[in-house]
Amino acid sequence: MIPRLLGVLTILTVLTGCRFADEDAPTTQTSSPWNLDGPTPHLIAHYVPWFTTQKSETDATFTWDHWQWQGPGPTHDPNLAGPRGRRDIASVVCPLIGPYASWSPRVVKYHLATAKAAGIQAMLVLWYGPGNDLDARIPMILDVARETGTKIAICYEEKINWPGYRNPESREDIVKNATADLQYILDRYAGHAAYLRRNGQPFICQFNYWGAGELGPNNILPDEWTEIFARLSQPVVYARQNFDEMYHPRIAGAYVWWTDDDWPRRFAQLAHDLIPQQKLVFAMTMICPGFDDAGVWGWGNGPRKSKEYGMPVLQRTCAEALIGSPELIQIVTWNDFNEGTAVEPSLEYGYQWLDAIEQWLGKTQGRPVNLDDNRDPLREYLRTCSELEKQMLPEMGQP
């Protein structure tokens, strides 16, 4: 075993001892309409499959998609390695296994198995339309999910209907594009045994776009969604980011994303008030360790960092996530390292956040807590990873 692997193994026995406040009480759980084990609320996580270290198993040419930053602000070149073998990636936090390729089944299995051990039951996978690299990875992710007992749903980017991705010439083109995208998801992925469903219907959630252009608002309008859903070959359970009353209940669900103010708490309370009025069918709240996108210099616009970062934010958002008895709670995120929201085990924080989440689940939902099995998937990854993946591993000790 190479020395850096020996170093990585030292973290496997480190437990953080993190505890949430004693006042956390078990939640009132209800039977679930989701194809997930146990009652609601279910814990899921946002997942980005956009990382690359090389093109394929047979092509060792480094490409560094999303690990490299050459825009405004400080550049980051993963070809360079610093102390402890930490490569200069475009992130304030480095994955425990170093930079990786999202197309690797070994990496995806490590992710999904680690998440499942901690109590995360499903992943919402970011998707940018048919025919690109992210789309090509979905079949493999679904197959690994079936193997690990995890569910997968697609997170659809509303902006892919607009210039930069497509160039609609009318509002009807926008409707046609979105209909084709959702039908593609239904045809290619929704029938998979690992796809996430509510009352038997496939689940798709959406990141909203914003602004306006020559064709009007850069959002698909409520009546346009009615038309889109009518054109699909089967019903879907759809959730839109945040809450805009004119979209509901024709869109069944709403979810909240990270923001550095009290909106997650207000969203949870609003959803709690609207569901009994049948203005909303279900809601998805969120938990997060904070936000820091200095690694990509705020995507070229200057770095942004939340007022607090780490355990205090995670504890606060966990407590707020239970307001209103949501059906789903989304971790923002599993592995968006560019924006510093990842709870995936890291060189800097080890398993602290993941262990704290599992302990919170144990306290609030009565789930048995076993922190050691969170580390089992890393043992398996170290045993099976490729020689190039071994080269990406930083030298590990206790963080």
What is the per-residue pLDDT across 113-145, written as a single tens digit (0 to 9) for each? 999 999 999 999 999 999 999 999 999 999 999
Return the pLDDT at 41.
Answer: 97
Whether the per-residue pLDDT at 234 is higher than 90: the answer is: yes
| Residue closest to 20 by CA, chosen among 361, 341, 370, 262 | 361
In tens, the pLDDT along 62-102 reads 899 999 999 999 999 999 998 888 999 999 999 999 999 99
Radius of gyration (C-alpha) of the chain in whole angstroms: 21
Segment 134-162 mean pLDDT: 96
Measured in residues, the chain has a length of 399
pLDDT the model gives residue 27: 52
Please report the pLDDT score of residue 17 as a whole number: 42
What is the residue whose two structure tokens read 């809450």?
243
pLDDT at 9: 46
**Closest-CA residue to 268 (of 229, 320, 342):** 320
Can you tell me the distance from the alpha carbon of 395 to that of 385, in angstroms, rounded to the nearest whole number?
16
Q: Is the confidence at residue 157, as pLDDT, over 60?
A: yes
Q: Under a CB-based contact definition with an 8 Å cutoff, are residues 49 and 125 in contact?
A: yes
Look at residue 28 in the predicted model and tell me its pLDDT.
53
**Cα distances (angstroms) measured from residue 194 to each of 6, 43, 82, 225:** 35, 16, 40, 26
Q: How confident is the model at residue 252 (pLDDT cuts 50, 70, 90)?
A: very high
Provide the pLDDT for residue 395: 85
> What domains does the chain contain, in order, with CATH numbers?
3-390 (3.20.20.80)
Model pTM?
A: 0.92
326 token code pair? 């949501």
Counting residues of the chain whose pLDDT is more than 70, the rounded percentage is 91
Q: What pairs with residue 152 in β-bridges?
A: 123, 195
Instruction: Report strand pairing: 212-213 vs 216-217.
Output: antiparallel
Angle at 398 between CA 392 and CA 399, to 5 degrees: 75
Confidence of residue 55 (pLDDT cuts 50, 70, 90): confident
pLDDT tens-place string over residues 318-342: 999 999 889 999 999 999 999 999 9
Q: Are 102 and 127 in contact (CB under 8 A)?
A: no
What is the per-residue pLDDT for 6?
A: 40
Strands, DSSP E only, in the chain?
42-47, 122-127, 151-157, 197-198, 201-207, 212-213, 216-217, 237-241, 253-255, 282-287, 328-331
